[in-house]
Structure 1
Amino acid sequence: MSVDQDTRDHETHPAVSGEGIGARVRRKEDARHLMGRGRFAGDIRMPGMSDVAFLRSPVAHARILAVTKPQGREGEVFTSADCADVADIITRSTIPGYKLSAHPPLARDKVRFVGDIVAMAYAPTRAEAEDICEATLFDYEELPAIVDCDSGRAPGAALLHEAWGDNLFLETSFDSGGIEEVARTAAVKVEKRFRTGRQCMHPMEGKGLVAWWDFQNDTLVVNTSTQVPHMIRAGLAETLGLPEAQIRIAPPDVGGGFGYKCLLQPEEVLVAWLAMTFKRPFRWIEDRREHLTAGANAREHEYVITAYADERGKLLALDAEVAVNVGAYSVWPFTACLEAAQAGGNLPGPYIWPHYRCKTYSVATNKPPFAPYRGVARPGVCFAMELTIDAVAAAVGREAVDVRAENLVPALAMPYLNITKKFYDSGDYPASLATAREMIGFDAIRARQQAGEKDGRRIGVGFSTYTEQSAHGTKVFASWGTPLVPGYEQATIRLNPDGSADVKAGIHTIGQGLETTLAQVASEILTLPIAQIRVTLGDTATTPFSTGAYASRGMVMAGGAVSKAAQKLAEKVKALAAHLMQCAAEQVRFEGGAIHGPTGSVTFTEIARAWYRTPEVLPDGVDTGGLEVTEGYKPDVDTGLFSYATHAALVAVDVKTGATEILDYVVVEDCGRMVNPMIVEGQAYGGVAQGIGTALFEESTYDSEGQPLASTLVDYLLPGPTELPKVRIAHTETLSPFSAHGIKGVGEGGAIAPAGAIVNAINDALKGLGATLCEIPATPERVLAALAEARRTTSGRSAA
């Protein structure tokens, strides 16, 4: 897979320092990663360290009768009875009707999914620990398994949590009113059912941690692969009964997260408990089979949609029901209901819907818990909405790209408050669609379809436009009732004695280049080269509080905090420089890594020397706060900033084998001011790769007993270089008026649109045969099944 950059719509903003905002500088962190010098959880070795393994349930739903430890190894095996001082993981929410699920880190009374932890063992090596687990006997009474939303909601269904009386974590509804009147008068009514496959996240590095006791500071230290170190500290304090001040989360390098590493994992609690109890180091590194069978899942949605439109395809009303299969437990801190909340709120997408009604159901099943995965509900939402738009267009006999364009929120309407109160701060959605249409060569594709393909395959083109709600903050998360709500993101910046700068932020980097981009923001203001700016992230002992890296919030929130802190530091430096140069502070400017006045200049090193080594030269009344600043930041709107893009795909479908090949793929994206265009492209590139996996390949399948059928990478298919197309990217920069430097988030967007664009393209290719796909992944089997169903329908009509 390769990326072509199209800069026709990209206004270049040269950085003041040459390496500041807008510069295509190489990532600082890549120097160590490409040379194999990164330090991940699996690289950590400590004297006396033991490896941990887990005995996991082989069945989806059962009552525990007994767990028998192997003779002679009793002290190395632990069950729930041994960990009575460990609290259950309980994720609370203030949303009315939400039901609590107590998740014991070691199963007690019942197991509720294949992979639920029954016992824990430790030994000098992982292999020995696994042998101990294998020798531990697990006796159980199997119970009926709930594996899908329909069976979970059926009357008389087996109950995962008996006290509830049903299998619903939460049921919600939204109704703007007016649907019934529209239904009576609308010229067009389209009814569709859509389904998205369950997925695993598959970061390059799985979950893992090392926990140990720091006797010098009387502190539990946890080196865990996480996106949210400060939140994990709060979660461990809750479950272990330690004060937060006695827990230090010091994450090493993290090899990808995608939302999987946003959660408090039972394994984290248990390994940390071992270190706290025995005061020595313990390690657990997730293997790929554990990830596939027991790790948190995502994206199993079912949609029932009715759309109403006029005879030209103008959208009038949307009536929807969304069921989300969220697994056995509510994950900490985001709950099991975040996915459905995001689905219901974001389903209208970038379109104008005068009327909207939606019910959502978060259904408990005997599958692993649900985690927020890159895009958080919006890949499914976008898939359902974009296929609905194409269905409306088909119903009125017009090109879907034209119907889409006429229903998008126009640029002149910005800022726009949509039907679910999403505040679209800026953008030109129709322009992104028009550019994608031009780049993909829409008119030429239509002519090519008329001519036909020499190899007999059928080609099709599809579009998908989406919004990406990024950096949503306090009011949004408070409305979702989550136990930790983000407030002001903080950052610290300090000028060191040698004239270099340290930036510290509580957010953590998971591969998105924050060490580079946060340095670029500081460089933009101070004009120091980024080589002289060191960035420290995530360590709860040394960085300001942050709820972490999720929701495309890194550059908006942490970048804004760094910007604000750098500006405050710049004022301090200006005052000292003005004194040394005998001029007014208003006459001082920063340029080329130095501070200039009317008749001369001083360096940052000279400023630092004055403060740290020659304080006799400082002015009277100097700011005693020194050359270090901590500042907090959040955007001027709390509802999030909305990036957006249009994706367009050209595919070829082999109607004999069902195989789909992506011939061309275009992305036209807008994330406001780009701090580093190269990193933005990398985010889009990686997101598209994951989105193609969602569209065509990836699915965690289960049988009727809740047994996972994709427990290896032979069965769970990931796209590789031969399946990924050349991606052509065009940029626009519509600056947000509500954020520092006009920046909007971009971390999730690439993964949101591909399924909609690709399946629309497949359906376009097959439309002459009457076949339509409404489920992903669009595997060859599903393509062939759609073709067979079309033939059966045609035969039935002919017979009639």
Structure 2
Amino acid sequence: MNAPTSPHLLQPTGQGIGQRVQRKEDQRLLLGRGQYVGDIRMPDMLDVAFVRAPLAHARIHGIAKPAGCEAMVYTMADLAGVQPILAASALPGFKRSVQWPLAQDKVRHVGELVAACVAPTRARAEDIAAGVEVDYAELPVLADMHAAMAASTRLHEDWADNVFAETHVDRKLAQSDVPGHTVRRQLRTSRQCMAPLEGRAVLCWWDHRLDQLVMYSAAQLPHINRTGLAECLGLDQGRVRVISPDVGGGFGYKGILLPEEICCAWLARHLRRPVRWLEDRREQLSANANCREHAYDIAVTVEADGRLVGIECDAVVDSGAYSSYPFTACLEAAQVGSILPGPYQMDWFRCRTRSAATNKPPILPYRGVARTGVCFALELMLDAAARELGLEPHEVRRKSLVPASAMPFTNITNKLFDSGDYLQAMDQAIAALGWDAWRARQREAHAAPGGRRIGLGLAVFCEQGAHGTSVYHGWGIPMVPGYEQCAARFTPDGVLELRLGAHSHGQGMETSMAQVAHSVLGIAIAQVRLVHGDTAQSPYSTGTWGSRCAVMSGGAVGTAARALAERMRAMAAVLLEVPAETLRLQGGSFHTADGANALTLADIARTWYRAPQKIPPGIDPGGLEIVVGYKTQPDTGTFSYACHACAVEVDTATGQVRLLDYAICEDGGVLLNPLIVEGQLIGGLAQGIGTALYEEMPFDAEGQPLASTLADYLLPGAGEMPPLKVLHMETPSPHSLFGQKGIGEGGAIAPPAAIVNAVNDALFALGAELTACPASPERVLAALAAAQEARA
């Protein structure tokens, strides 16, 4: 077990760990000096437009290329040597899907790639694509996940059914002698599209000198993309270089290998010209990966005082047509069975999950991954139980939240909670919201004439971040994280270069990693440079996902900085002619015990590189460049957590929901930079509000997406953000180097549960209840109509 570093061992300045330092990268990003894939131009470059399937399920009987443009149109038959995307899981019974980069014989969702058209401009390529004629024979469409599991039609002909995999969990810790009260609901979360400011983007070219494919891609996992790309193209990985420049938001959407990437790479090698594809918003909304379509048939059993006795759940996740590389089609459903119990104690837990295959785009993990769905399911059930028992929502949770005295705590699914005080977080959030005062306002509002009602809601969750080798190996996906490495070196003029395999696409890593290095070495953060996003320059990494960068990359940087400090201490001792153990490192300099002499780290670097004659034998010949690896021990991850509490107003005439007030109390362990953490929380909250109230990608019975523009797919804006109070608790994790915990996804996990709970609280006296999100005006009015009909 790694004990967190004691604060007194870190450099006590205004730039290190725990300081609210403005982000270094914002200087260039806010002035328009960032470099995204779309900013990169190359001589003789071709643009690609894809022919995409207009049908959700059909045989392809023929493809006719437009006359005179045959050499500019490519089908799967033309892509010699290209292998399909295979994202297989080691879960028992998993069925493998075969996804060709361009459809071969059959299409399985609207928007699937059928042909690639190249031209000097995107407009010309789109004109050529419009002239391609495809002869389709329609097949029955599987647009509903429950119907798909029972259908005789097969999405993949060699499968026995339309289920990627099924999992079962059955745990019993105790037998309660007190009769319990069981509450059952059928709950759903709607299918969503992710909406980063920058869509996916690819630019490929062939480096003749190195005989190497170079791919610029707006990707979160450049090393993983390289692995998948090399496998599909039949190249060794040394002949593939993936560069992720500035990336305009990821959220999981940029975490999978794309068929478009494979096509552009093959075309660049075949044509010996740079080839580019920039995703437009219609492609992103109507054709590419979705997320978060879950269905829960769930029951909770509670005692009369609200204590949670047990959970029984049958969960189905709509995984779409294919298994996405590298996370597979089953990551969401497989996690449901392990994380549904959340931060609560209980006597027993039973859960069955299924990953259904349908004629929709494949799913991928979106910010919060399965946690948003399971938090929605469990927290709605706890509120439903509280209403039936006549208790406040926080009274029910208080009976079963894991207490601080029990930490570290192994829960019913063997999750090891490292540290924390969940009850205190809930109490602080409730107090910050002013729960009792809002209850008084609620009573006044409901006594007044009119259709405006006030409701209060809360949600508590824990987030496992910095997942390690054992966790992902257990989930059976083809991407298993190991040691996160940092290559650190001083340049001859004293600049510290940090090379990381993880990638920053909004997390502020250029600043927070510099703060970690500063805390160890005392070097000014302006003198620390982060190099990342390039497989040719950075150590191998599984990339940025799962709230892991602060813990894993921060741990690697801290460990590398310590190792460099010890090497430089030995050099300073020789140059100052004093014993190494007497030197004190502070402010970027080694000081002698009497304070009479000092040597800066820049002086030592200059000596090593420019005056090596001063370095005697016996000094480590590795010099001022070092590669170290880091992972937490144990590697089961760190557990951040939070409570979200909110007040809403529901207009029963229009169904509109308005957020009146919002409070968050979170515990991310030792915060590397509270300012960046708050930015992550606020951004996550905005996305969570979208999930709760606005965002939905509906499909009709023929598998056609019905929200292919931002006029139809609603996103929250600044005007939808409520007044917000953010409180921090900092319970250090005993598993990480500085006590930090991953917190990048937490802001997006709880809002759907907290907000819909508040809506249900507002409507309770009217007999109405929502069991799905988003809580759109249509759903609110439908719930009110159903309640009125039931009363009639």
Same fold, judged at TM 0.5 (above) = yes
SS across alignment from 1:99: coil
Which residue among 118, 135, 141 is the counterpart of 1:139? Answer: 135
Measure how far apart 1:216 and its partner are.
Answer: 2.0
Matched, 1:516 2:511: yes
Mapping of residues 531-570 of structure 1, within 5 Å:
531-570=526-565
Tell me if structure 1 keeps the 8 A contact 2:316–2:333.
yes
In the alignment, the residues of structure 1 paired with residue 674 and residue 599 of structure 2 have an alpha-carbon distance, to the nearest angstrom, of 32
Tell me if structure 2 keeps the 8 A contact 1:60–1:705.
yes
Measure how far apart 1:100 and its partner are.
Answer: 0.3
Which residue among 612, 622, 626 is the counterpart of 1:625? Answer: 622
Q: 1:14 to 1:754 in 2, by over 3 A?
A: farther
Which residue among 702, 705, 708 is the counterpart of 1:705? Answer: 702
Which piece of structure 1 moves more, 774-783 or 586-595?
Answer: 586-595
Tell me if structure 1 keeps the 8 A contact 2:173–2:412.
no
Measure how far apart 1:29 and its partner are.
Answer: 1.1
TM-score (norm. length: structure 1): 0.96
Deviating 4+ runs (over 3 angstroms): 11-15, 453-456
In the alignment, the residues of structure 2 paired with residue 625 and residue 270 of structure 1 have an alpha-carbon distance, to the nearest angstrom, of 42
Q: 1:15 to 1:152 in 2, by over 3 A?
A: farther
SS across alignment from 1:666: strand
Measure how far apart 1:14 and its partner are.
Answer: 8.7
In the alignment, the residues of structure 2 paired with residue 227 and residue 200 of structure 1 have an alpha-carbon distance, to the nearest angstrom, of 17
Which piece of structure 1 moves more, 678-687 or 307-316?
Answer: 307-316
Tell me if structure 1 keeps the 8 A contact 2:453–2:652.
yes
Provide the residue aligned with 2:198 in structure 1. Answer: 205
Provide the residue aligned with 2:16 in structure 1. Answer: 20
SS across alignment from 2:227: helix
Provide the residue aligned with 2:572 in structure 1. Answer: 577
Name stretches of at least 5 consecutive residues in structure 1 with no aligned partner.
1-10, 796-800
In the alignment, the residues of structure 1 paired with residue 638 and residue 587 of structure 2 have an alpha-carbon distance, to the nearest angstrom, of 32
Q: Which amino acid aligns with 1:241?
A: G
Tell me if structure 1 keeps the 8 A contact 2:248–2:505.
yes
Provide the residue aligned with 2:3 in structure 1. Answer: none
Q: Which amino acid aligns with 1:265?
A: L
Q: Which amino acid aligns with 1:309?
A: V
In the alignment, the residues of structure 1 paired with residue 178 and residue 568 of structure 2 have an alpha-carbon distance, to the nearest angstrom, of 68
Measure how far apart 1:619 and its partner are.
Answer: 2.8
Which residue among 367, 370, 374 is the counterpart of 2:360? Answer: 367
Measure how far apart 1:12 and its partner are.
Answer: 13
Which residue among 675, 679, 689 is the counterpart of 1:682? Answer: 679
Measure how far apart 1:178 and its partner are.
Answer: 7.5
Q: Which amino acid aligns with 2:349?
A: Y
Which residue among 388, 391, 396 is the counterpart of 1:395? Answer: 388
Tell me if structure 1 keeps the 8 A contact 2:383–2:757.
yes
In the alignment, the residues of structure 2 paired with residue 165 and residue 14 of structure 1 have an alpha-carbon distance, to the nearest angstrom, of 59
In the alignment, the residues of structure 2 paired with residue 786 and residue 214 of structure 1 have an alpha-carbon distance, to the nearest angstrom, of 60
SS across alignment from 1:503: strand
Provide the residue aligned with 2:652 in structure 1. Answer: 655
In the alignment, the residues of structure 1 paired with residue 279 and residue 697 of structure 2 have an alpha-carbon distance, to the nearest angstrom, of 18
Which residue among 305, 312, 325 is the counterpart of 2:305? Answer: 312
Which piece of structure 1 moves more, 544-553 or 478-487?
Answer: 478-487
In the alignment, the residues of structure 2 paired with residue 178 and residue 757 of structure 1 have an alpha-carbon distance, to the nearest angstrom, of 29
Provide the residue aligned with 1:5 in structure 2. Answer: none
Tell me if structure 2 keeps the 8 A contact 1:175–1:356.
yes
Mapping of residues 226-265 of structure 1, within 5 Å:
226-265=219-258
Deviations for 1:173-215, whole angstroms, at most 9, x for unmatched residues?
A: 0101489x76x96330111110000001111100001100112
Provide the residue aligned with 1:506 in structure 2. Answer: 501
Provide the residue aligned with 2:34 in structure 1. Answer: 38
In the alignment, the residues of structure 1 paired with residue 130 and residue 497 of structure 2 have an alpha-carbon distance, to the nearest angstrom, of 49
Provide the residue aligned with 2:179 in structure 1. Answer: 186
Provide the residue aligned with 2:342 in structure 1. Answer: 349
Tell me if structure 1 keeps the 8 A contact 2:47–2:125.
yes
Q: Which amino acid aligns with 1:523?
A: H
The count of residues paired between Structure 1 and Structure 2 equals 782
Mapping of residues 281-360 of structure 1, within 5 Å:
281-360=274-353
Deviations for 1:428-478, whole angstroms, at most 9, x for unmatched residues?
A: 000000001111111111111221266641101100000111011101111
Matched, 1:77 2:70: no
Provide the residue aligned with 1:743 in structure 2. Answer: 740
In the alignment, the residues of structure 1 paired with residue 602 and residue 430 of structure 2 have an alpha-carbon distance, to the nearest angstrom, of 53
Measure how far apart 1:249 and its partner are.
Answer: 0.6
Q: Which amino acid aligns with 1:447?
A: A
Measure how far apart 1:602 and its partner are.
Answer: 1.0
Deviations for 1:513-550, whole angstroms, at most 9, x for unmatched residues?
A: 11111111111111000100111012110111101000
Q: 1:323 to 1:206 in 2, by over 3 A?
A: same
TM-score (norm. length: structure 2): 0.97
Q: 1:635 to 1:106 in 2, by over 3 A?
A: same
SS across alignment from 1:316: strand
Measure how far apart 1:15 and its partner are.
Answer: 5.5
In the alignment, the residues of structure 1 paired with residue 752 and residue 8 of structure 2 have an alpha-carbon distance, to the nearest angstrom, of 31
Matched, 1:87 2:83: yes
Q: CA RMSD in A?
A: 1.4
Tell me if structure 2 keeps the 8 A contact 1:12–1:22.
no
Q: Which amino acid aligns with 1:49?
A: M
Measure how far apart 1:251 and its partner are.
Answer: 1.2
In the alignment, the residues of structure 2 paired with residue 186 and residue 340 of structure 1 have an alpha-carbon distance, to the nearest angstrom, of 31
Q: Which amino acid aligns with 1:554?
A: C
Provide the residue aligned with 2:412 in structure 1. Answer: 419
Q: Which amino acid aligns with 1:386?
A: E
In the alignment, the residues of structure 1 paired with residue 8 and residue 371 of structure 2 have an alpha-carbon distance, to the nearest angstrom, of 30
Matched, 1:615 2:612: yes
Provide the residue aligned with 1:667 in structure 2. Answer: 664
Measure how far apart 1:16 and its partner are.
Answer: 2.6
Q: Which amino acid aligns with 2:246?
A: D
Measure how far apart 1:157 and its partner are.
Answer: 3.1
Tell me if structure 2 keeps the 8 A contact 1:331–1:370.
yes
Tell me if structure 1 keeps the 8 A contact 2:11–2:587.
no
Tell me if structure 2 keeps the 8 A contact 1:188–1:395.
no
Tell me if structure 2 keeps the 8 A contact 1:17–1:591.
no
Tell me if structure 1 keeps the 8 A contact 2:183–2:300.
yes
Deviations for 1:378-432, whole angstroms, at most 9, x for unmatched residues?
A: 1111011101111111222211111112211100011111111111101100000
Tell me if structure 1 keeps the 8 A contact 2:294–2:315.
yes
Provide the residue aligned with 1:376 in structure 2. Answer: 369
Q: Which amino acid aligns with 2:134?
A: F
Tell me if structure 1 keeps the 8 A contact 2:178–2:303.
no
In the alignment, the residues of structure 2 paired with residue 286 and residue 460 of structure 1 have an alpha-carbon distance, to the nearest angstrom, of 41
SS across alignment from 2:720: coil
In the alignment, the residues of structure 2 paired with residue 719 and residue 403 of structure 1 have an alpha-carbon distance, to the nearest angstrom, of 31
Q: Which amino acid aligns with 1:601?
A: A
Q: Which amino acid aligns with 1:120?
A: A
In the alignment, the residues of structure 1 paired with residue 13 and residue 334 of structure 2 have an alpha-carbon distance, to the nearest angstrom, of 43
Q: Which amino acid aligns with 2:617?
A: D
Which residue among 51, 56, 59 is the counterpart of 1:60? Answer: 56
In the alignment, the residues of structure 1 paired with residue 93 and residue 65 of structure 2 have an alpha-carbon distance, to the nearest angstrom, of 41
Q: 1:719 to 1:13 in 2, by over 3 A?
A: farther
Tell me if structure 2 keeps the 8 A contact 1:429–1:644.
yes
Tell me if structure 1 keeps the 8 A contact 2:141–2:701.
yes
Tell me if structure 2 keeps the 8 A contact 1:186–1:308.
no
Which residue among 618, 627, 635 is the counterpart of 2:632? Answer: 635
Provide the residue aligned with 1:798 in structure 2. Answer: none
Which residue among 109, 112, 115 is the counterpart of 2:108? Answer: 112
In the alignment, the residues of structure 1 paired with residue 180 and residue 67 of structure 2 have an alpha-carbon distance, to the nearest angstrom, of 75
Tell me if structure 1 keeps the 8 A contact 2:10–2:520.
no
Measure how far apart 1:643 and its partner are.
Answer: 0.3
Provide the residue aligned with 2:588 in structure 1. Answer: 593
In the alignment, the residues of structure 1 paired with residue 727 and residue 75 of structure 2 have an alpha-carbon distance, to the nearest angstrom, of 55
Mapping of residues 385-464 of structure 1, within 5 Å:
385-452=378-445, 456-464=451-459
In the alignment, the residues of structure 2 paired with residue 157 and residue 753 of structure 1 have an alpha-carbon distance, to the nearest angstrom, of 38
